[in-house]
Structures are given as C-alpha cells and as structure tokens.
Amino acid sequence: MYVDDTSIIVTSPNVENVETKIDNIFGDINNWFKVNQLILNYNKTYYLQFNTKNSWDYDLKLNYQGNYIKNSSNTKFLGLIIDDPLSWKAHIDQMMSKLNTACFVIRTIQAIMSPETLRIQL
C-alpha cells in the first residue's frame, strides 16, 4: 500500500523546540505506518521551511534514525505551488505557462471555427 501527499505542519517560536517536536512527530508517524503496514520513503520526503523577510535564516538539518530529510524551496499542494517565502511567484509562473498555451490554441483554431463554436463554455 502507498500513502501519498501527507503533510505535517510544525510551528514553534524557537528552532530547538521545532527539532524536538519533529523528532517526536516522526516517531509517531513511523509507529502509525508500521501498525498499518506502510513504510515512509525518506527518498521522497521533503520539508519546506517558511521564512519571512524579517526572520533569520536557520539551516535546519532534519533526520530520523539516520534517514536525512531534504529541504525543498517549493512544493505542490492541492494544485498550488507554495514556496518558502510564500511569494506566489512559482505558482504564477506555472499558471502563465498554462494560460499562454491555452491562448495559443484558441488563436490557432480561431481560423477554422465559427465565433459561436469558440464561445461555447464547457
């Protein structure tokens, strides 16, 4: 069995407390996976550390029982691309690409289709 797209949010005012919370959470998650005959794939596990302009950047090194968890600068979550400064830039860039493709298709078929057909909403 496979479990995809599990998300965990950990918050704390100080970084040392976050690392302790994460260790405890990974212990709980691994126990739950074991009971349900699942395995956490550490090669596909990433963490995203949100930062603000005023926050100091802390190089968080996450590992659980010798399995290191890689940092990512962005992730896709429910169709949205979320990046670590929460800027929307990566999501907007992706949407612009999709919209450019759709506009190109409409311009291309415009010559062979009637205006009524082009206005049909699905």
DSSP 67-101: EEEEE-SEEEETTEEEETT---HHHHHHHHHHHHH
Residue pLDDT, tens place only, 9-65? 888 777 778 888 888 998 998 899 899 888 888 888 888 888 767 766 677 788 788
Residue pLDDT, tens place only, 94-107? 999 999 998 998 88
Measured distance CA(22)–CA(24) in Å, rounded:
5
Tokens for 39, please give them.
Answer: 């395995």
Closest CA to 41 of 70, 80, 74: 70
Question: Residue 27 to residues 20, 30, 117: CA-CA distances in angstroms?
Answer: 11, 5, 58
Please state whether the predicted TM-score (pTM) of the whole model is above 0.95.
no
